[in-house]
Structure 1
Amino acid sequence: MSRFAGRVALVTGAGRGIGAATAAELAKGGCALALNDVDEARLEESAAALRGHGVNVTTHLGSVMDPAFIQAFVAEASEAHGKVDLLANNAGGGPPMTPWAEFAKSDFAHFRAIFEMNFFTQAMLLHALLPGMVQRGYGKVVCVSSISAVLGQESGAAYASGKLALHALVSSVSKEVARHGVNVNAVVLGNPPHPSRTPERQAYLDKLSHFDRVGRLDEFGKAIAFLLSDDASYISGAAVPIDGGLIAPRLNE
């Protein structure tokens, strides 16, 4: 039997990158998918590729920064698939036209917007889905964080703060729902490929990695899929690094 046969996953930021890679691993295991992104073209392209695995895929275009959209998204996905078993809570980053800056020099409205995108989006979606998971006695949730939450980030305090808040949310909520058959964990990503990263920044991160290279998207997708699988049934409240060792620095160079 396929690893995720009979399961339904909701994946945010599924049009590219980590979200698309996670969705691919789930689809390979026979999981039905409800995919979300803000870019219609890349969302439909991703969905078309995933349907090649023979699974049911629905697309849900909209911003998870909008509480009304989140409620509609969860309702539509639940109606289309009958339930939602798994949540890959991946959306984050920076809102369009919202610059990152040193904290003391930043516009606080920008700080708030970036923080909200990296915390409240995931918190709202988790809040909307958890009651159904608890009622059915089954659910797996992975919230996507970053090494910035652990190490901090210059000119990225809002992003780092939002991601670190996820750790406290996961640690708290996981205690409340584990007895109901629901696992809630976080992944702490470091050095995934990113289209806007400069070659100089990439070379710096690669040097910090124990592997001397950028992580592959499939490496991140497989790790997240593991935490969404029954193989991770006794993992709860964890913040699992998938970072090539960046949190554990190389001190001999």
Structure 2
Amino acid sequence: MPDAYERHLVPVFFRPFAADLAGRAAALRPGRVLELAAGTGALTSALLAALPGASVVATDLNDAMVAAGSAREPGAEWRQADAQRLPFGDGDFDLVVCQFGVMFFPDRPAAYAEVRRVLAPHGHFLFNSWGPLASHGFGAAFQTALEEAMPDGAPSFLDDVPHGYTDPATVTADLTTAGLTPTATEQLTLPGTADSAASVATGLLTGTPVSATVGVRDDAQAIQAAVTRRMTDLLGSGPVTAPMTATVYTARRD
């Protein structure tokens, strides 16, 4: 999964937003940075470039992601860590940053309370989350194609999890419950460009938990072919570009 994720999804979905988050992080001038849910290191790489004088600790719950990320971005310190039980001391960091990871936390207020604990006084928490699935050109096309290819019940993972935490009022309430002070909320739409619709289809089918449902079926290859054809119909052939919307949040420990 990490290899498919890195090859097909990271350049298209995550690098554009990583550049944005890294620029926002640099404006805060942190000396000690903790990244949560770092995956294979898209944001890690951008942080290291934008903050050459800072120390960056990158963490992920998944050991395979940590192994892949540490091989790609050895300039950061990599640790396996659960965001709800961080293995760091109180006040260890000036900035905690997370790109498209908070949606996966089982108990977000608990994870945010841990963020508050490891932040120094007046430190910041900077993160983003995807908007509704309909606002993500690639994701929406994929889900349409998948539902057509699997009329007996397509996985709803994209809608339920990556695009399931979209209400800013809910997010700010969770931050407040954890003792953090929300300071900024901004909706941002950026373009993603892929080599082909087929590449995105492959990434979403094999580089996400969708693979657990589709990959075990006898007709998995037929489903992948049908999804690829339909996504190409919807997005076009050759290199394809689509808009992707997310919300960026900043909170502070007082």
Q: TM-score, normalised by structure 1?
A: 0.48
Structure with the bigger percentage of strand: 2
Greater relative contact order, per chain length (Cα 8 Å cut-off, separation 6+): 2
Q: TM-score, normalised by structure 2?
A: 0.48
